[in-house]
Chains A and B, each alone.
Chain A
Amino acid sequence: MEQIMNRFRSVVEAPYEKLAEWKNASKGKVVACSPMHFPEELIHAAGMLPVVLQETNEAITSGFSHIHPFYCGITRNMVDIADKGQLNFLDAIFYSDICVQARTATCILQQTLPRTRVEYMRLPMSLNRPNASEDTVREFDKVKSTVESIAGNKIDDSALKQSIRVYNKNRSLLRSLRDLRKANPGLLAYRDMLLIIQAGMLMPKEEHSELLEKLLSRLKKGKAASKKGRKVLLSGHLCQKPKADILDLIEGMGGIIVDDDLYTGYRYCALDAEENGSPFQALVKRYLETSLPVPTRSYLPVRWDKYLVDKATANRAQGVIILVVKYCEPHLFHYPFIKEALAAAGIPHIMLETEHEVVSLEGTRTRLQAFMEMLG
């Protein structure tokens, strides 16, 4: 098991170095996409390696000459490492309209990465308007053509169907891991749980699934001491993985993380695409009929505040820990509604603002410990 975890760690600890090594060794193409909405299956079906852009721990230095300090950590970090040449090996980057900051990042990367194709995908914001479906089809079609031109080959339906199957299998394995851990939280530290999910964004899905299957079979045989503590739900971080130190602090203080709605968490494995019918339409349908709350989309079937109250109730969480990335406007826009809804439901919560730059962990420790004491 340690061997599998070490493989995942090696991918996550130096993501871009490892990807560049993979590219050199395989002579394949690597295409990165921004988190949340991009249909990675299209890149996979074209025979390239899709990866999700990851925040690194590097201090932001030269990137400051391109971007304001009031942009979120991952956006500033992407601009900075691109400026330092660390993304030069990528064959293409697809940003999408996850927020206004992503649009700015696209423009900057187009200038700082002249040899890498940097594209922007714009999808309808109001998912229930009459031409939302038509617009999504048109945009996905445009993306498909661009992906084909980068790959140098066409994406046919059978290849796309196969990619959907590969991705669905991977998501299903991740959900099994989540269920296993939910039933026995002592089996896996949350930092490891999220590390496994993150590793899957940076390596071939087939390899990730193979390792996951082995890991799951070992975990199923393993026995962990039953864990007692205060059950908490984690929410937030829509693009980047929370810092492991914060997860360790929560668990170190007797918190049992019962579930999450993080991007590098449940969001990444929550939604499958249908395997029957047109594979292209299946991707469109998954986007338009999402069952997850998305802060930059309107007329969704579910509101984020209600979703969190329901999720906390279903998981019998005693409290909710909300991790807000500093300058994440979409999250901050929704936070007052979430705060109100949780208060109305009698569910205590704590909001921790996180930054790319290291925040005093001592202050966070006190706040988290006080929150745990508050939960009783």
Chain B
Amino acid sequence: MSVAVGVDIGSLTAKTVIVDSDCRILAYKIIRGKIVDETAAIMSMRQALNEANLSEPDIGFLITTGYGRNMVNFGNKSITEISCHARGAHFLYPDVRTVIDIGGQDSKVITLNGDSKVINFAMNDKCAAGTGRFLDVMAHALEVPIEEMGELSLKAESPAQISSICTVFAESEVISLAAQKRSRLDIIAGLHEAIGRRMHSLVNQVGITPPIVMTGGVAKNVGVVCVLERLLETEITVPPEPQIIGALGAALFAAEELKGSQR
């Protein structure tokens, strides 16, 4: 069996998606590591292959994406996560016109047409504040599991003002607010507001074209999604597993290559 594989090597996680020639998802795997390198990427790929009862010789075409796409010594091709997130989101939601992706250290807003072709995009280029790493640091400072932050923020009564969005300074502010006995729920909600404001300005660079799909690990945080929906005044769709959309896009591109080579 010849399958198409997409491997997304991010800053915090490595993700693999395997699809067959009909673009059916056979398996996917997300590996989180302190250092996401080639080993983590290979591990995610092998675990996904195992899950689908496949082995490496079954790989017909493999595309790498994500920030580490050029740092690994395997794969037939690399494509940016911008094109891959657009492709993956469009596969699941053909009407989508804007993709908001917040990953470990990058945030992106991508507009696309009906053929999943990227028309425009904006990306954070100076610092990684407001991304997954930012939330990681804050979760650690607040001693709250990161996966619980979203639900907790919805219970906040009055979100705190986090004036700075620099990760280091914001961490100081969070610690200071906690020392002032400000409720953790309000602090978390304040952090989500800060991320939302930052993303709002990135969205404005390319314009809002609904329907919007949010991808990346931060899309799992319902608090951030709610803030963004309020600020953008529109509904945001979150896929069941938003973290694999880049790898899915890469796998779909790989499937196209595979079909092309079999013709």
Contact = CB atoms under 8 A, between A and B. Distances in A.
Contacts of B119: 348, 374
A363 B118 contact: no
Contact of B80 (A353, A359, A369): A369
Interface string A347-376: 010000100000110111111011001101
Contacts of A370: 80, 82-83, 118, 121, 123
Given A370-B118, A373-B118, A374-B118, A363 B80 contact: no
A367 B122 CA distance: 8
Contacts of B106: 363, 366
Contact of B125 (A364, A373, A374, A376): A364
B123 A366 contact: yes
Given A359-B125, A363-B125, A366-B123, A373 B67 contact: no
Given A359-B125, A360-B125, A373-B118, A366 B83 contact: no
Contacts of B83: 370, 373-374
A376 B115 CA distance: 13
Nearest to B205: A351
Nearest to B83: A373
Interface string B103-123: 000100000000001111101
Interface in B36-67: 67
Contacts of A367: 121, 123, 125
Nearest to B71: A362
B81 interface: yes
Given A362-B67, A366-B67, A373 B80 contact: yes
Nearest to B110: A370
Contacts of A363: 106, 123-125
A345 to B, nearest CB: 15
Contacts of B135: none
Contacts of A360: 125
Contacts of B79: 373
A360 B79 CA distance: 19
Interface string A177-191: 000000000000000
Contacts of A364: 125
A369 B70 CA distance: 11
A78 to B, nearest CB: 24
A366 B81 contact: yes
A359 to B, nearest CB: 7
A321 to B, nearest CB: 14
A250 to B, nearest CB: 15
A282 to B, nearest CB: 44
Contact of A373 (B82, B120, B123): B82
B76 to A, nearest CB: 16
A351 to B, nearest CB: 9
Nearest to B81: A366
A358 to B, nearest CB: 12
B9 to A, nearest CB: 12
A357 to B, nearest CB: 11
Interface in A316-366: 348, 353, 359-360, 362-366
A354 to B, nearest CB: 11
A376 B113 CA distance: 14
Nearest to B127: A360
Interface string A75-114: 0000000000000000000000000000000000000000
A86 B70 CA distance: 40
A77 B88 CA distance: 45
A359 B127 CA distance: 10
B75 to A, nearest CB: 15
A55 B154 CA distance: 51
Nearest to A364: B125
B108 to A, nearest CB: 9
A376 B117 CA distance: 9
Contacts of B117: 374, 376
B262 to A, nearest CB: 23
Contacts of B67: 362, 366
- List the 8 shortest-distance A-B pairs measured between CB atoms, nearest first: A370-B82, A370-B80, A373-B83, A374-B118, A369-B80, A363-B125, A366-B80, A367-B123
27 contacts: A348-B119, A353-B125, A359-B125, A363-B106, A363-B123, A363-B124, A364-B125, A365-B70, A366-B67, A366-B80, A366-B81, A366-B106, A366-B123, A367-B121, A367-B125, A370-B80, A370-B82, A370-B83, A370-B118, A370-B121, A370-B123, A373-B80, A373-B82, A373-B83, A374-B117, A374-B119, A374-B121
Interface of B: 67, 70, 79-83, 106, 117-121, 123-126
